Structure 1
Amino acid sequence: MKKVPSNSKKGGKKAKFQVIDELKSKYPISKICKILVVPRAGYYKYIKNKEKKKKETNRDKELKEYITIIYHQHHKNYGYRKINAELRDKYNLPVSEKLVRRLMNELGLKSQARRDKRKSINGQSIK
């Protein structure tokens, strides 16, 4: 006997919700949901999350611009903590350090690490 594919498989519900999106102009959403055996509330939650992600991506684009400006203004010396502080103080944008760090990683921006100064006495290095 073959296994019957279930709703819980990855992408199963999402694919059904996309089908509902395409067919909603022709048929009532409630009937499509009944045919596809998907809860109507789940579909509306899917739409809400979809809109939320669009808003987040717009905000991320704006933040990426600010981050690159600050990063290059300070000659690549600022890390995510200092950039976050400047976003908060100068631009009045309340953003978490974790978000700034993630966006910097996506942009490939890394602060230049300071080198240790070698200590020497009369030209000889101390170990």
Structure 2
Amino acid sequence: MKELYRLIHAEKANYSIVLLCRVLHVARSSYYAWREGEAARRARQAADNALAHEITVLHIASRKTYGVPRIPAELRRLGRRVNRKRIARVMRERDIRSVTRRKHRSLTRQDARAKPAPDLIGRDFHAERPGTKLVGDITYLPTAEGWLYLACRLDLATREVVGYAMADHHRAELVVDALDMAHGRTRPEPDCVVHSDRGSEYTSAQ
């Protein structure tokens, strides 16, 4: 029946709904009920997509360590009160899960000679203005030709990816390319904080 309802909805600009329902043997009340339900479903889907984007930003900013219940707690801290079961469903549907370090190999290799930088974010993944806080990490993706490495930069104010780079390695130039793109696509303020882990790629002289 859904296909018939969609056909009526698509053709209602060309033919009257009364005629379409009569030809397709569909009750008008059933079509109107479906149309109202479809609008509600689209609104829920749009809201879920927006929530998934917020979750993804927090997930990446936490270096993929946040899951349920850490994500709901962080959203509450930012003033967003969302049902925990809904968050769990959205994360499950989009396969957003916390990383278990014992089961996944970590890309972080610290350079013992590099001087550690202070943590200027302090777990506060919120920014009022674009170009003030950028966060990023490197992840790896299996392909038929081997591992592909992805470095990205997120602006915490806009919750958008402002820079990224992909390569078959995760040397320092990978994160430099992502940062260069971010610099070209946004306008970092003079006191902009660029947050990452302490892997050698980020602490390198390059």
TM bucket, shorter chain: 0.5 to 0.7
- Pair 1:107–1:27, CA change in 2 (3 A): closer
| Counterpart check, 1:26 vs 2:14 | yes
Name stretches of at least 5 consecutive residues in structure 2 with no aligned partner: 103-206
1:43 and 1:28 mapped to 2: Cα distance?
A: 13
Equivalence map 1:1-127=2 (5 Å): 13-90=1-78, 92-113=79-100
* Bigger share in helix: 1
Count residues with an aligned counterpart: 102
CA RMSD between the two structures: 2.2
Amino acid at match of 1:27: Y
- Pair 1:15–1:107, CA change in 2 (3 A): closer
Q: TM-score, normalised by structure 1?
A: 0.66
- Secondary structure, in 3 states, of the residue corresponding to 1:80? coil
2:97 and 2:5 mapped to 1: Cα distance?
A: 39
Offset at residue 40 of structure 1 (A)? 0.7
Offset at residue 113 of structure 1 (A)? 4.5
1:60-113 CA-to-partner distances (Å, cap 9, x unmatched) read: 2221121112112223222221201221231x2232222212222233322234
1:109 and 1:32 mapped to 2: Cα distance?
A: 43
Offset at residue 53 of structure 1 (A)? 2.2
Larger Rg: 1
2:61 and 2:14 mapped to 1: Cα distance?
A: 54
1:32 and 1:114 mapped to 2: Cα distance?
A: 58
Q: TM-score, normalised by structure 2?
A: 0.43
Name stretches of at least 5 consecutive residues in structure 1 with no aligned partner: 1-12, 116-127
1:71 and 1:22 mapped to 2: Cα distance?
A: 39
